[in-house]
Amino acid sequence: MTKNIAVSLLFTLATVALLGFIWFGQTNDRLAATNLRQDALQLEFGQRNYEQYCATCHGLAGEGQGPGNKAAPKLSDLQGRLGPGTEAFTRENGIQKKYGSLRNYVEAIIAYGKTGTAMPAWKLQGMRDDQIKAIASYVMSMQGGAVAPSALDSAKSWSATTEAGLPPTATPNEPPLDDPLAEAGKQTFNTYCISCHSKTDASGAGPGLAGLFGESGTKAFGTTLPNGNPVNDANVLDWIKNGGGGPGVGPDPQDGASYGVMPAQGQILSEDKILEVIAYLKTLTR
């Protein structure tokens, strides 16, 4: 009798242990799958925001604009330039001491900009914390090994932001324009161009565009474009679509500033969108 009870007890305990093992394994699998989905969603959202707010200067693949104080730096090599083990990370008052991690540093730069450069303080322009964190996740994914490969593959499958139709983070308080084409161009300008180009004479990463189509042109380049071509619809379309200009190319800026290379926008904006921007640029007077 006692032996039968012991056998039954052992069988019961073994069954409970087996069921617990199966349940625990399934729970871990579900948690892992959930984490992968969350990684994928974070990167998808980050990529969409990156393409909308960052790719204009830093490139779709984080390739940047090359060296120079005004040029947007390469982002795909941050780990090697600024990550653990580098002088920038480990020095006294470096990234590790001030921010704790490279990712925290990336978030801080997105949020508050960088003194002495054209990097805007996106948080002060209305960008939400979830957008900042998502963009930082996407930038970190460029470094390799920062997220699960399946999540990165999922994120890279997203269409361009122009198709996703995200609204701009912060739209200046401006009255609507009578011309629908120019009004549409204003929205596109406020989304893709304003981080580098002001609507006045003020310089940034790119020249101020007030008066571009006016009789005297812009303060920086007059009636020519930074690539040296005269201002007209066809040349402005080509300039926005294919980029160009920069130090040693075209005329020297008349405002004493130094500008980086205009990144090609043809991979981000359709020709129709660029034509809308041109219609809006014609409304900017000095």
**pLDDT tens digit sequence for 170-217:** 444 577 889 999 999 998 888 788 877 889 998 877 889 999 999 999
Q: Which of 16-20, 28-32, 60-64, 206-210 has the lowest mean pLDDT?
A: 28-32
Count of structural domains, the chain: 2
| CATH number for the domain that contains residue 242 | 1.10.760.10
Mean pLDDT to the nearest integer, 237-249: 82
**In this structure, are 214 and 275 located in the same domain?**
yes
pLDDT tier at 29, thresholds 50, 70, 90 = low
11 CB neighbour count, 10 Å cutoff: 10
Q: Percent helix, strand, coil in the chain (nearest 5)?
A: 50, 0, 50
Residue 33 lies in a domain: no
**In this structure, are 183 and 151 located in the same domain?**
no
Residue 9 lies in a domain: no
- State the number of CA atoms in the 13 A half-sphere of 106 facing the CB: 28
Which pair of tokens denotes residue 210? 């007030």
Place of tokens 């290379």: 261
User: Burial level of 183, CB count in 10 A (0-12/13-18/19+)?
Assistant: middle
In whole angstroms, give the CA distance from residue 217 to residue 211. Answer: 5
Top-confidence residue, 246 or 90: 90
Top-confidence residue, 239 or 143: 239
pLDDT tens, position by position, 73-114: 889 899 999 999 999 999 998 999 999 999 999 999 999 888
Q: Which is nearest to 195 in space by CA: 133, 74, 95, 114? A: 114
Q: Which pLDDT belongs to residue 231?
A: 96
pLDDT at 272 over 90: yes
Residue 169 lies in a domain: no
158, 182, 197: which is the final residue of a domain?
158
pLDDT tens, position by position, 160-169: 333 344 444 4
The percentage of residues in the chain with a pLDDT greater than 70, rounded to a whole number, is 72
158, 182, 208: which is the final residue of a domain?
158
Top-confidence residue, 138 or 31: 138
Residue 114 lies in a domain: yes
Radius of gyration of the chain (CA): 26
Domain around 180: 174-286
Q: Which pLDDT belongs to residue 262?
A: 80
**In this structure, are 149 and 188 located in the same domain?**
no
User: Mind spelling out the 3-state secondary structure of 158-226?
Assistant: CCCHHHHCCCCCCCCCCCCCCCHHHHHHHHHHHHHCCCCCCCCCCCCCCCCCCCCCCCCCECCCECECC
Q: What is the pTM of this model?
A: 0.56
